[in-house]
Structure 1
Amino acid sequence: MHRRPSRVNTDVCFPMTEAAYKAGASAFFKRPNGKYKHYEESEHPTESSYRFTFYSTAYSTVHARSLAEIPPAGLTLSDMIKAGCWWIDVLSPTDLEMRDFGRIFGIHPLTVEDIETEETREKCELFKEYYFICFRSFDQDHYSPTYLQPVSLYVVVMKEGILSFHFRPTPHPSNVRRRIRQLKDYVTVTPDWINYALIDDITDSFAPLIRTVEFEVDSIDELVLILKESEQTDMLRRIGHCRKKVLGLLRLLGSKADVMKGLIKRCNELRWDVVISNEIVLYLGDIQGMISIEMTQANNQINDILSRLTALGTILVPMNLVTGLWGMNVRVPGQDKDSLGWFVSILMGLLIFAIVGVVVAHRTGIV
C-alpha cells in the first residue's frame, strides 16, 4: 500500500528544479514555507497570511500574501517602485524568497546570509548600493511566554527604497506607517527617514519597561524598612525579579549606542548617492543620546538594587550567625538559670543592632 509523501518528504525528495529556481520572484510566490525553526521559536505564518506590506509615497499601503499580489490590476511592481519612495516589509521570509530578493534588488550574499540565519549581533554595514542594519527590539506581549526575548529587525536602505525583514510579529512597522500618515504633510519621507523612524520607534519601546523598573525600585525602597522578617522572602524575590529585568534591558541596550555611532560615522563618510541628509544625522544623534540615557538609568537602577541587597545582607548575616551558633551543641549564656534575662538581652541586642544598621544605611544613602 503506497502512502502519499508528506510536504516535508516532497521538499526533500523532490526539490525545486533549476528552471523554477531561475524563474526569479515568480517562482516563490506560491511555494509553501519550507524554513525550519527550533522548537522553542515561533512558527512562521501560513502562506494564507499577509506577510508582505508595501508602502509608497505615490500609493496607499498594500498588504499581500506574496510579492505578486501587491500590484493592482494594470500595474506592475516595477511601476510602483519607480513612482516614488517605497518600503517593503516582510514577515518571516523563506530562504528561497531571500535569494530572490537578493537577485532582484542586488543585495550582497553576506547580507542575505545574515537575514537567513537570523543574525543576533546588532551592526551597521556599508555596501556599494545600500547599507544594512541589524537592530534588536523585544517581544512586548506581557502574556506571551517569550516576553522580553529579543526580536531582530533587519533593514536594507537603498537610494530609492527600503526593505525590512523580521521573523516574529512586531508593532514597529505599523507604528512607523501610522507616523508617516500623521507627518506626511510636514516631513519629506525618504528611505533614510523611514530607517530613522524604525530605529526611533524601537528605542522608544524601552521607555515603558524602564518606567516599570523605576516604580518597582521605588516600591522596594519604601517597603525595605517596614516589612517584617517573615516577609523578607517576598522582598528578596521581588529584588531578584527586578534585577533580572534590568540585566535583560542592559543586554538589549548594550550595543545600540555603538551601532548608532557606526551608522552616523559611516553615513557622514559616504561619497555615493545614498547620503543621509544633515537633518537625519541630527535625528540619529538624538536616538544615540536617548540610548545613552536609558543605559545610564538602567545601570543606576541595578546599582541601587545591589546596594540595598548589600545593606540587607550586612544586617541579617550577623543576626543569623548569633542565632545559628547557639542552635548548635555549644554552651548558651544563661542556660543554667531559670530566668529569661539572658534571652531577652540577646533579642534586645539583635534588635538594637538591626535598628542601628538601618539608621546608618539610611544616613549614608544606601537605602
Structure 2
Amino acid sequence: MATLFSAAPFWLDVTAPTLEDMHILQKVFRIHPLTVEDILTEDTREKCELYPHYYFCCFRSFDPDPNSITYLEPISVFSVVAQDFVLTFHRRPYVHATNVLHRIRRKGETEAYADIEESPLTVTPGWINYALIDDVTDSFAPLMAQLQLEVDSIDELVLILRQSEQADMLRRMGEARRLVITLTRLLASKPDVVRSLIKWRQTRANDEILVYLSDIQDHLLAMVQNVYHYERIISRAHANYLGQINVEMTKSSNSTNKAVAWLTTMGTVLVPMHVIGGLWGMNVNVPGQDTGLGWFFGIMAAMIIVSTTTLLIFRPDHFRTVRRYLLPCSR
C-alpha cells in the first residue's frame, strides 16, 4: 500500500486490497457496499457512477510489458473521488500511479524551472483522477502506432507476395487482427466513461478540468475509429490474400489439366497404333511381307487414318490445337 498525504486533500493508492482492507476503508470513508463489491470482484464494466458524497470510476489499463505472460491483459483501476480525498484500487502493480506522482512533482517544480510546461490546474482529487485517465489514454499511443505500421505494411504487401512468403503473411494478419480485437475490447467503452464524467462535471461552475476531459474524449474517439478502420483494412487484405491464393490455385489447376489433356491426346493417338501393331508379332506372318513395301505403307496409312479419325471424334479440340501448331511449321 502506497500513500501520498498532504494537509488536504490526499490520495491513497491501494494495491491488491483484501476483504479486511475494504471493510476498514468502507467504514472510514463511508464507501457504498456496491462500490466495495465492484472493487473486490473486479469483473465490473468500465463505468462512472455517482454517489451522495463521491463518484466512482472504473477505467481499464493493460500490461505494457511484451515479455510478460499477462501482456495486453486488462488491469482494472478503480477510483473513489470525493471533495477532499481520492482512493485508487488495482489488483496488480501498474505504472500510471508513478507517472502521476512524477507529474505532481513537476507541477511543484514549474516555478523553479520555467522551461517545464505543465497544466495550470491545481492538484485536487478531481485532477488526480483526470491525470490517471489521461496517463492510461496516452499509454495506448505506442500500440496504435505499431498497429498502424503493421496494417499499412500488410495492405501494401498482400498482393505482391511470393508463394514462400504467404504463410508468414497469414501469421502477420492473424497477429494484427488479434491486436485489433484486444484494443477494441480495451477502448470501446472508455469514451462513454469520460462522457459520463463530463456530464457530471458540467453541473459544477467554472470547472477547468472539463476542457481537459473533453480533449481525452476526443483522443479516445479517434483511437476507436482508427481501430475500426484498421479492422476493415485487415479484412480487405485477408480477402485479397484469399483471392490471390484462389487465382494461383486456378492457374495450377489449369496447368495440371493441360498436362493431363495432352497425355490423354497422346494416348488417343498411340493406343490405336499399338492395337494395330500388336496384331502382328515377330512370329506372325505380316501380309505382303514378300511382295515389297506396298503393304507396309498401306498399314502405316491405315494406322494414321484410324488415329486421326479417333482424334477427330473424341478430341476435336486437341486436333484443332495440333493443326494450329502444325500449319505454321508447314509454311
Pair 1:210 & 2:138 matched = no
Work out whether residues 53 and 89 of structure 1, in 8 Å CA contact, stay in contact via their aligned partners in 2: yes
Q: State the 1:321 CA deviation.
A: 4.5
Separation in structure 2 between the aligned mates of residue 276 and residue 169 of structure 1, nearest angstrom: 36
Among 1, 8, 16, the residue aligned to 1:92: 16
**Unaligned 5+ runs, structure 1:** 1-51, 59-82, 270-274, 343-367
Q: State the 1:277 CA deviation.
A: 4.9
Q: State the 1:323 CA deviation.
A: 3.8
DSSP-derived class of the 2:28 partner = helix
Pair 1:108 & 2:32 matched = yes
Query: What's the counterpart of residue 223 of structure 1?
Result: 157
Work out whether residues 159 and 244 of structure 2, in 8 Å CA contact, stay in contact via their aligned partners in 1: no
Separation in structure 2 between the aligned mates of residue 252 and residue 292 of structure 1, nearest angstrom: 12
Query: What's the counterpart of residue 300 of structure 1?
Result: 229
Deviates further, 179-188 or 98-107:
179-188
Pair 1:182 & 2:106 matched = yes
Q: State the 1:266 CA deviation.
A: 2.4
| Structure 1 pair 276–153 and aligned structure 2 pair: CA distance change class (3 A) | farther
Work out whether residues 3 and 12 of structure 2, in 8 Å CA contact, stay in contact via their aligned partners in 1: yes
Query: What's the counterpart of residue 335 of structure 1?
Result: 263
Among 291, 304, 312, the residue aligned to 2:241: 312
Q: Deviations over 1:267-308 (max 9, x none)?
A: 324xxxxx5852111111111000000111111111111111
Pair 1:138 & 2:138 matched = no
Taking structure 2 as the reference length, what is the TM-score of the superposition? Answer: 0.73
Separation in structure 1 between the aligned mates of residue 3 and residue 245 of structure 2, nearest angstrom: 61
Separation in structure 2 between the aligned mates of residue 308 and residue 165 of structure 1, nearest angstrom: 42
Separation in structure 1 between the aligned mates of residue 125 and residue 192 of structure 2, nearest angstrom: 22
Q: Which has the higher contact order (CA 8 A, sep 6+)?
A: 2
Q: State the 1:152 CA deviation.
A: 0.3
Query: Rg: which structure is higher?
Result: 2
Work out whether residues 192 and 276 of structure 1, in 8 Å CA contact, stay in contact via their aligned partners in 2: no
Work out whether residues 137 and 150 of structure 1, in 8 Å CA contact, stay in contact via their aligned partners in 2: yes
Among 168, 191, 194, the residue aligned to 2:128: 194
Query: What's the counterpart of residue 279 of structure 1?
Result: 208
Separation in structure 1 between the aligned mates of residue 214 and residue 56 of structure 2, nearest angstrom: 18
Q: State the 1:318 CA deviation.
A: 4.0
Separation in structure 2 between the aligned mates of residue 123 and residue 241 of structure 1, nearest angstrom: 29
Query: What's the counterpart of residue 172 of structure 2?
Result: 238
Q: Deviations over 1:12-53 (max 9, x none)?
A: xxxxxxxxxxxxxxxxxxxxxxxxxxxxxxxxxxxxxxxx22
Work out whether residues 154 and 237 of structure 2, in 8 Å CA contact, stay in contact via their aligned partners in 1: no
Q: State the 1:222 CA deviation.
A: 3.7
Q: How does 1:32-51 map to 2 (within 5 A)?
A: none
DSSP-derived class of the 1:54 partner = strand
Work out whether residues 155 and 233 of structure 2, in 8 Å CA contact, stay in contact via their aligned partners in 1: no
Pair 1:263 & 2:197 matched = yes
What is the one-letter code of the residue matched to 2:220? I
Among 52, 71, 74, the residue aligned to 1:147: 71
Taking structure 1 as the reference length, what is the TM-score of the superposition? Answer: 0.66
Q: State the 1:312 CA deviation.
A: 1.9
What is the one-letter code of the residue matched to 1:168? R
Q: How does 1:160-171 map to 2 (within 5 A)?
A: 160-171=84-95
What is the one-letter code of the residue matched to 1:287? I
Q: State the 1:221 CA deviation.
A: 3.1
Q: State the 1:319 CA deviation.
A: 3.4
Separation in structure 1 between the aligned mates of residue 56 and residue 206 of structure 2, nearest angstrom: 17
Q: State the 1:85 CA deviation.
A: 1.8
What is the one-letter code of the residue matched to 1:178? H
Q: Deviations over 1:146-205 (max 9, x none)?
A: 100100000000110100000011000000010111123543100000000000000000
Q: Deviations over 1:49-88 (max 9, x none)?
A: xxx22223x4xxxxxxxxxxxxxxxxxxxxxxxx222100
Q: How does 1:15-54 map to 2 (within 5 A)?
A: 52-54=1-3
Could you tell me the percent identity over the aligned residues? 46
DSSP-derived class of the 2:261 partner = coil
Work out whether residues 159 and 241 of structure 2, in 8 Å CA contact, stay in contact via their aligned partners in 1: no
Separation in structure 2 between the aligned mates of residue 334 and residue 299 of structure 1, nearest angstrom: 51
Separation in structure 1 between the aligned mates of residue 217 and residue 263 of structure 2, nearest angstrom: 67
What is the one-letter code of the residue matched to 1:334? W
Work out whether residues 59 and 78 of structure 2, in 8 Å CA contact, stay in contact via their aligned partners in 1: yes
Q: State the 1:220 CA deviation.
A: 2.0
Separation in structure 2 between the aligned mates of residue 336 and residue 121 of structure 1, nearest angstrom: 68
Work out whether residues 130 and 209 of structure 2, in 8 Å CA contact, stay in contact via their aligned partners in 1: yes
Query: What's the counterpart of residue 183 of structure 2?
Result: 249
Pick the structure with more helix per residue: 2
Among 42, 52, 62, the residue aligned to 1:118: 42
Q: State the 1:208 CA deviation.
A: 0.3
**Unaligned 5+ runs, structure 2:** 111-119, 267-317, 319-331
Separation in structure 1 between the aligned mates of residue 102 and residue 205 of structure 2, nearest angstrom: 22
